[in-house]
Structure 1
Amino acid sequence: MPSNIDKFSDIRPYNDEEIQPAIKRVINSEEFIDAILSFRFSKLSKLLGFVLKPLIRRYFLYKWGNINSIDKMQKVMGHYVQQMIDSTTTKFTYSGLENLDPNQSYLYVSNHRDIAMDPSFVNWALYSENFKTVRIAIGDNLLSKPFVSDLMRMNKSFIVKRSVTGVREMMKSLLHLSDYICSSLKEDSSIWIAQKEGRAKDGFDKTDPAIIKMFYVNGKKQKIPFTEYIKSLNIVPVAVSYELDPCDQQKARELYEKAEFGEYKKSEFEDIESIVSGIIGKKGHVHVAFGQPLNCAFENADQVAEEIDAQIYQNYFLHPSNLIAAEQDVDNIPAQDIEAFKARIQAIKPELQDTVLKMYANPVGHYTS
């Protein structure tokens, strides 16, 4: 029988032995260097790209050349996350971890507002309280560039194969993923996964029961009753809320074009641009709320999804931006904060302003802080 490492080699995060080869591939990737040039040195890249490219490679070789384990990579990424929090947030808070056991593995099912930052903030909260950091589920639609796949899998991400076609192949892929999640939890490795495919672009968070059905595929194969198997996963709902969404205008443009023209076509590097925008953009106050492990006697996936939603709605932290956009309970919000948010909205393209306002306003009334 193959080992689990071999069994899941196509989707699992890299192990220690794979870190250095992956780093070398990333550093030698023209697309990676071009992406760094484009986002970091956009004005200089056309004139001085031939000079900057070898310097960028040398920089990353210096920074990453001695990383040869997951733990070392996590420490390096932890430094980057700390810098990101210091430079892009006014405050980072979390709640609910006092109800969880740091020695236990959990399947964290989270609302989804940002591709990279949601699991990063969840991880930072866990790390701050000496919990195990998570393995992160990421769709293969975001991994079209080999260097992106390498970077993600170096950082404890595993692949959800959404591009698979054909009923037989889809079921095989779902069983493989379900088996991997269960195996990880048994190996004392917690999991982070979004409550549905794609980010919530309109401000509403809703769990897709298909995610719960995927969890159970492995249990169904083993003829384990649904209630028993779901309890064994230690599912914990998580609500991540941002005072400011760095990608609000990008999301609004997508919603606007779908409403106006019936479709929206992504540009080649749009997913990467969203990741970068989410990392470097101003976020204001970010709060991560951990719920209670699901231990009720659920009969089906819809009931599980409803309980996840109920906890996310109950624990979601409403920021001044949400209240200002909804024009509710603004009496206790400082006037300068109100003016700053209104100025942010006014700076957005006029045709997108209503959509962005609704994005911030929609959680109010639906959730309680």
Structure 2
Amino acid sequence: MTETMNRFNDICPIPDSNVRETIERLIANSYFRRATEAFVKPLSWEQFTAVMSQCRTKDDFQRYIIYPAMKQLIAKTTADMSGAGWENIPEGIGTLFISNHRDIVLDAAFLNMLMIDKEKPTTEIAIGDNLLIYPWIEELVRLNKSFIVKRGVSVRQMLEVSKHLSEYIYDTVNRRAQPAWIAQREGRAKDSNDKTQVSLLKMLTLHNSSDPAKALQDLHIVPLSISYELDPCDYLKAKEFQLKRDNPGHKKTEADDIENMHTGIMGFKGRVTFRFGTCIDQAIREIPAATGRNELLEQVASIIDREIYRNYTFFPFNYVAYDLMTDTGRFSSQYTDEDVSKFNAYLQKQIEKINIANRDDDFLRVKMTEMYGNTVKNHLEA
């Protein structure tokens, strides 16, 4: 482990030997206190930091600090949280979970709550350095078993940075037999049209670029489908669609990222389901050996996408949205007239939260409908 930490100390989670001093720095940081104090109630700050000070390892920190806080959050912001397809996780080896991406912060956090409940090892979590707005956030996420994906680098540095990350993920999954999680693409699919980026798979093969098929098999990839009944950030995503439509050069600000994170964490999500698909090792073996690198990566991306689409969980709003998108009644047996009224009222309530010049309600309604209907569309195609 020490060798790994020395080689990858710029991106890896904090080593257990440094947990205690990291916690001391966080407790002394007024910004950390300001951001955290409301989450830890009914504990007082003194009670919370006393428990935090007892943690000696990252697993301690997850079990005694993150787990209770997340359980409280889950109780407040979801109607139900469940996992399925546990039998698809290979036993006795490391695994790389590749999933669709719904929430900036919570996708991996919820996954690890389910892992703890099942008495399985928690995953190491890929997180982009664009979200590490303050130094204390980087310390906090690395304490919570996150490893850093460097995005703010020059084109010249990108290959070196990507190879370093690839070697770290291989070391984690294959040599240390630890599970890891990474989203199928950089950033969330704003319209829920989930597609695995070929560039992600290319990065994952760089630890053994001469044999990309073996490089991917060595990671024992398990596609994971994440389904939220409601997306608290749907109106923020729709707002971004209109801003980009009206001004193609529009870029999100740091304040926008913070608003998305806060809304995603605190907003109501309804029912949430994580469903593990089948490990794709065998599917990769079946790709002809003569297949070129680029075509191989395209085929593997399609394999992952099909598994994710196949394993979505659907709720009445998804079926209503699909039928509205396609102007059909294909799934009318899956919802009631009341569900249609609720969906339309929900969209209007979300649109009312959008405060921009020349707000285009019809456009925003279409974009939000797509967010809820595209998962059904992709499931049917798979």
Same fold by TM-score greater than 0.5 = yes
- Cα separation, 1, equivalents of 2:46 and 2:300: 50
Could you tell me which of 111, 124, 130 is aligned with 1:135?
124
Match of 1:119 among 90, 98, 108: 108
Q: Which residue pairs with 1:51 in the alignment?
A: none
Q: Distance in 1 between matches of 2:378 and 2:199?
A: 23
Aligned equivalents of 2:119 and 2:35: distance in 1? 34
- Match for residue 326 of structure 2? none
Q: 1:24-35 alignment to 2 at 5 Å?
A: 24-35=24-35
**Equivalent in the alignment of 1:86:** 75
The answer to which of 2-11 and 245-254 deviates more is 2-11
Q: TM-score, length-normalised on structure 1?
A: 0.87
Matched, 1:175 2:187: no
**1:152-163 paired onto structure 2 within 5 Å:** 152-163=141-152
1:314 aligns with 2:310: yes
Shift of 1:209: 0.6
Q: Find the partner of 1:293 among 260, 279, 286.
A: 279
TM-score, normalisation: structure 2: 0.84
Distance in 2, matches of 1:96 and 1:227, equals 25
Partner of 2:193: 204
Displacement, 1:27? 3.0
Identity %: 36
1:1-369 matched pairs, under 5 angstroms: 3-35=3-35, 58=46, 60-75=48-63, 76-167=65-156, 169-185=157-173, 186-220=175-209, 223=210, 225-295=211-281, 296-297=284-285, 298=287, 299=291, 300-327=296-323, 328=329, 329-349=331-351, 351=361, 352-368=364-380
Shift of 1:248: 0.9
CA contact (8 A) 2:322 2:377 kept: no
Q: Aligned partners of 2:129, 2:252: CA distance in 1, in Å? A: 15
Provide Cα deviations, 1:288-342, integer angstroms capped at 9, x if missing partner: 1111111223442111111101111111122211112223524342555444333
AA in 1 matched with 2:61: M
Amino acid at match of 1:359: M
Q: CA deviation at 1:101?
A: 2.9
Q: Indicate if the aligned counterparts of 1:103 and 1:131 stay in contact, CA closer than 8 A.
A: no
Q: CA RMSD in A?
A: 2.3
Evaluate the alpha carbon distance shift between residue 252 and residue 26 of structure 1 in structure 2; reply closer, same or farther with a 3 A threshold. farther
How many pairs are equivalent? 349
> Aligned-pair distance for 1:90?
1.3
Name the SS of the counterpart of 2:97 in structure 1: strand
Q: Which runs of 5+ in 1 are unaligned?
A: 41-54
Contact 2:319 2:334 in 1 (8 A): no
1:202-232: per-residue Cα shift (whole Å, max 9, x none)? 1100000111110111112xx4x22222211
Could you say what secondary structure the match of 1:363 adopts? helix
In the TM superposition, what whole-angstrom CA distance separates every residue of 1:110-159 from its partner, at most 9, and x where no partner exists? 11111111112222333333322100000001112111111111100000
Task: State the one-letter code of the partner of 2:319.
Answer: L
Instruction: Give the letter aligned to residue 199 of structure 1.
Output: R
Q: Closer, same or farther in 2 for the Cα pair 1:56/1:140, shift >3 Å?
A: farther
Q: Is the 8 A contact 1:237 1:292 kept in 2?
A: yes
Native 8 Å contact 1:256 1:355 kept in 2: no
Whether the aligned pair in 2 keeps the contact of 1:140 and 1:159 (CA below 8 Å) is yes
SS of the residue 2:275 aligns to: strand
| Distance in 1 separating the partners of 2:91 and 2:371 | 34
Q: 1:341 to 1:11 in 2, by over 3 A?
A: same
What is the DSSP-based 3-state SS (H/G/I as helix, E as strand, rest coil) of the residue aligned with 1:239?
Answer: strand
Name which of structure 1's ranges 329-338 and 114-123 shifts more when overlaid on structure 2: 329-338
AA of the residue aligned to 2:22? A
One-letter code of the match for 2:238? A
CA distance in 1, matches of 2:368, 2:162: 35
User: Aligned equivalents of 1:302 and 1:103: distance in 2?
Assistant: 29
Change (3 A) 1:59 1:253: farther
Is contact 1:135–1:191 with CA below 8 Å preserved after alignment? yes
User: Deviation at 1:34?
Assistant: 4.5
Q: Deviation string for 1:331-368 (max 9, x for gaps)?
A: 34255544433322111236333321221122222214
Shift in Å at residue 63 of structure 1? Answer: 4.2
CA contact (8 A) 1:241 1:288 kept: yes
